[in-house]
Amino acid sequence: MKKVAVIILADTDTMEAMGRVSNAFMLVKELAENKDDFKLIFEGAGARWINELEKEDHKLHGLYKEVKKEITGVCSFCAQAFGAKTSIEKFGIPLISEYNQHPSIRNMFVEGYEVITF
């Protein structure tokens, strides 16, 4: 069984970024269907996505709803820094602060996860 950490760093401001998030979600769906061990984390400007994806008229809203239960969390520091913390908490997404208020990517490597960024 593969161990994969999917980290979304893309900001919300371009079609290219939306494509990256869509591709990340498709990977997560495939990992979940195959019962692989994985994490889905929003980091950096990617923290802004939660508020956008919760909008019912967003192009990726349906796909987001399919993978929402698979979200491991959002970087606590980045959520605050990018002004997204309140909406992330409102929508019930966990904040991660394992290392200086960030997810510990080092621990992911130690635990055997292959880290893929989008």
Render pLDDT for 39-61 as a digit per residue (tens, 0 to 9). 999 999 999 999 999 999 999 99
Strand partners, 99: 102
- Range 3-117 has CATH code 3.40.50.80: no
Give 19's contacts (C-beta < 8 A, 6+ positions apart).
none
Render pLDDT for 70-114 as a digit per residue (tens, 0 to 9). 999 999 999 999 999 999 999 999 999 999 999 999 999 999 999
pLDDT of the residue at 2:
84
Q: In what order do the strands lie in the sheet with 73-75?
A: 95-96, 73-75, 37-42, 3-8, 114-117
User: What are the structural domain ranges in the chain?
Assistant: 3-117
Q: Is it the case that residue 1 has pLDDT exceeding 90?
A: no
The residue-averaged pLDDT of 20-30 equals 98
